[in-house]
Structure 1
Amino acid sequence: MTASPPITPEAMPIPRKAPAPARRNLVGLTRPQLRAALIEAGTPEKQAKMRETQVWQWLYQKGVRDFDQMTNLAKDYRARLKEHFTIEVPEVVARTVSADGTRKYLVRIAGGHEVEVVYIPEDGRGTLCISSQVGCTLTCTFCHTGTQRLVRNLTAGEIVGQIMLARDDLGEWPEPGRAPKDETRLISNVVLMGMGEPLYNFDAVRDAMLITMDGEGISLSRRRITLSTSGVVPEIPRTGAEIGCMLAISLHATTDELRNQLVPINRKYPLAQLLEALRAYPKLSNSERITFEYVMLKGVNDSDEDARRLVKLIAGIPAKINLIPFNEWPGVPYERSDWDRIEAFADIVHKAGYASPIRTPRGEDIMAACGQLKSATERARKNRFEIAAEAGLPQPERIVRRPNAPDVH
């Protein structure tokens, strides 16, 4: 038998170095999650509360993205943070400014997906309209976003990150070494009225808004945050109890027959169920009214009869009605109501005792107006496992159905 040649150092296999564990993004972690993450990374439990507050203030009060700038932390602790964590917000791919000053951001998130964010300035203040999903499942027939299929939910970090990147662009963070700004805020209001149905992504939306409302960070009052829903009835009580923000309802019709066409979720949660949930909404009062959004569609929902039916429908609910002149987009089958028709509708609502402002269209020239948002690149529908893998999210639970078993919704 021929002896095997001796193994020389040159011939020995080189052991593969284990890949470094992925660093965790701190943006989007709630306070309890942040504290737990810091402890897991080696922060002594006795120091965890203090460190949590320090890091939180750097992230959300000062807008710092570099651990080296967290000057009240020791150098070795900053090095530890860099080893375990990152600070990342979505990437601005394109920024477009309307003639009226409205800014639209095309924003890229994990997996290469894109959403749109809109900033609407008004007398030194401004409203930021943010997205909660890539695409939408609701297919409301008048809404441009609804023509884009749902790709995935945004994470809490991707939602609050939209506020942070807008503050970057507007220069709203305090200058390094100076106290937080106390002048009128450029982003004075946040509305969850961008792409997607927020209540179909409840947990991430809730966590992002709790971060936004925290007094030691972005510190935006809950009364300055409005969540707009098409009527996901089971989540409305949770919204009041767990977020406590203002509520807006995309109503758009006063009969189930018409609303089934315009807002298909009405087939699942018809008007009677929706209004019952709204009458029980926590904090409902004359000072914290529900907003009903009503897009004005020529010859569809804009008659005097529609206006009278609307005020009867919402009777007893402290509310205001935002009348929205329809914002047209290519291929849409609807037209904007004539201005005198909108004013006549508003007059009936106003005489019934409800505020009925007519929303001034903003950002139409850059397709940033209400109902016009739609990301520039549409993604093919992928299964939820591929989407989760692309975004670096945990794999969803697989559902195994027995043969001939009915679907459960």
Structure 2
Amino acid sequence: MKTNIYGLLLEEMEELIVSIGIEKYRTKQIVEWLYQRDVDSFMEMTNLPLAKRSLLANAFEIQKVSLKRQLNSKDGKTIKYLLGFSDGEAVETVLMRQPYGNSVCVSSQVGCGMGCVFCASTLNGLVRNLSAGEMLSQVLFINQILKQEGKAVNNIVIMGSGEPLANYDNVIKFIRLCHEAYCLNLSYRNVTLSTSGIVPVIDKLSNEGLPITLSISLHAPDNSIRSSIMPINIHYKIEEIIAAADRYTKNTGRRVTYEYTLIAGINDDTEHAKQLVKLLKGKIINVNLIPVNDVIERGLHRPKQDKIKNFESVLRLNHINVTVRKEMGADIQAACGQLRNESLNK
């Protein structure tokens, strides 16, 4: 079997190509063809001698995503892609055109094993982790589309299907690849990673020296509610997660964002907002309120607009930095997992 060369760091690729008799300096040419010019075949690498290209083709392969389905929002700002891999599995990746740039929401796993009741990604459980190359391929697929418009990917949010910290090594490698000049040359500060709160791995991440934005899925103001909607809370309580977030800020100098999905009748009352204030007041953080996308299979619904505004007001009056996530792509089911589940059901 041929080795998939897509998704390797420069130093990893150097070792491989030298082992088949190709000069080390050729590595820079190869990675630029793969990650900047997005070629599908070694034969397209025209600044390499034909004999070298043949050596590469005989030893290695280039595995990238293929488009299975695409949904465009009516306003043209959001596009949702169902992207397939060589083993037949697929994930969703979303392009969001925003005033501050083009953001791509990337999946880190096929499915998800975290069991959060408000998320469609977890309905069919975890299938497998994605490799660094499979995550990178999602981004570069969209980057090639943007290049045709004279644009590029400006921000990456690892908030698609899966728990990134449960696929730690591949996710870190993916982030490092995106930062490399021979790839996307993206600042670490333009990368956001969202986690349900695996405390020991948050601490591990804080020691990586990567100044990425950490976003924590809190979604409840107390352990009773959080445990009922997020099984991870059985292992890591809210107080432990907030303490880990504080350590992350101390180690990296980066402000943590807490995501709070508002679900009608579960966590959207004024009292819940006051409890959240007690947890977070005085901390240098952001709160991102996310009115839930209806998940029919779970019977969960979006709160009425006055409930959302009231919850926001309680936080704002108590000097909590808060935003309500601008809804993008609701008409194309842009929430994680919905398009993949529909495809699986068919």
**For residue 140 of structure 2, what is the aligned residue in structure 1?**
164
Q: List runs of 5+ in structure 2 lacking aligned partners.
A: none
Deviation at 1:371, TM superposition (A): 6.9
How far residue 170 of structure 1 moved from its aligned partner, in angstroms, is 3.0
Contact kept in structure 2, 1:189 and 1:224, CA below 8 Å: yes
Larger displacement relative to structure 2 (298-307 or 126-135)? 298-307
Which of 309, 313, 338 is equivalent to 1:343? Answer: 309
Query: Amino acid of the residue matched to residue 294 of structure 2?
Result: E
Matched, 1:150 2:129: no
Q: CA deviation at 1:316?
A: 4.5
Matched, 1:136 2:112: yes
Looking at CA atoms only, which structure, 1 or 2, has the larger radius of gyration?
1
Residue 118 of structure 2 contacts residue 295 of structure 2 at CA under 8 Å; is this kept in 1? no
Q: Distance in 1 between matches of 2:177 and 2:114?
A: 27
Cα 1:334/1:370, change in 2 over 3 Å: same
Deviation at 1:172, TM superposition (A): 5.2
SS at match of 1:110: coil
Does 1:74 find its partner at 2:42? no
Higher strand content, 1 or 2: 2
Structure 1 unaligned blocks of 5 or more: 1-21, 174-182, 380-409
Distance in 1 (alpha carbons) for counterparts of 2:105 and 2:120: 16
Corresponding residue SS for 1:151 = strand
Asked if the contact 2:281/2:319 (under 8 Å) is kept, the reply is no
**Off by >6 Å, runs of 4+ in structure 1:** none
Contact 2:211 2:252 in 1 (8 A): no
Counterpart for residue 184 of structure 2 = 218
Structure 1 residue 319 corresponds to structure 2 residue 294: no
Counterpart of 2:155?
A: 189
How far did residue 123 of structure 1 move?
3.2
Question: What is the alpha-carbon distance in structure 2 between the residues aligned to residue 124 and residue 315 of structure 1?
Answer: 28
Q: What value does the CA root-mean-square deviation take over the aligned residues?
A: 2.1
Does structure 1 residue 24 correspond to structure 2 residue 3? Answer: yes
Q: SS at 1:194's partner residue?
A: coil
Q: Does 1:115 align with 2:91?
A: yes
Partner residue, 1:391: none
Alignment of 1:269 onto 2:236: yes
Whether 1:251 and 2:218 are equivalent positions in the alignment is yes
Contact 1:135–1:150 under 8 Å retained in 2: yes
Return the TM-score normalized by structure 1: 0.79
Contact conserved, 2:218 with 2:260, CA < 8 A, in 1?
Answer: yes
- CA gap of 1:237–1:244, structure 2 versus 1, over 3 A, is farther
User: What is the percent sequence identity of the aligned residues?
Assistant: 35
* Contact 1:142 1:371 (C-alpha < 8 Å) held by counterparts: no
Number of residue equivalences: 342
Counterpart Cα distance in 1 of 2:143 and 2:207: 28
TM-score normalised per structure 2: 0.92
CA apart distance, 1:235? 0.8
Instruction: Indicate if the aligned counterparts of 1:106 and 1:375 stay in contact, CA closer than 8 A.
Output: no
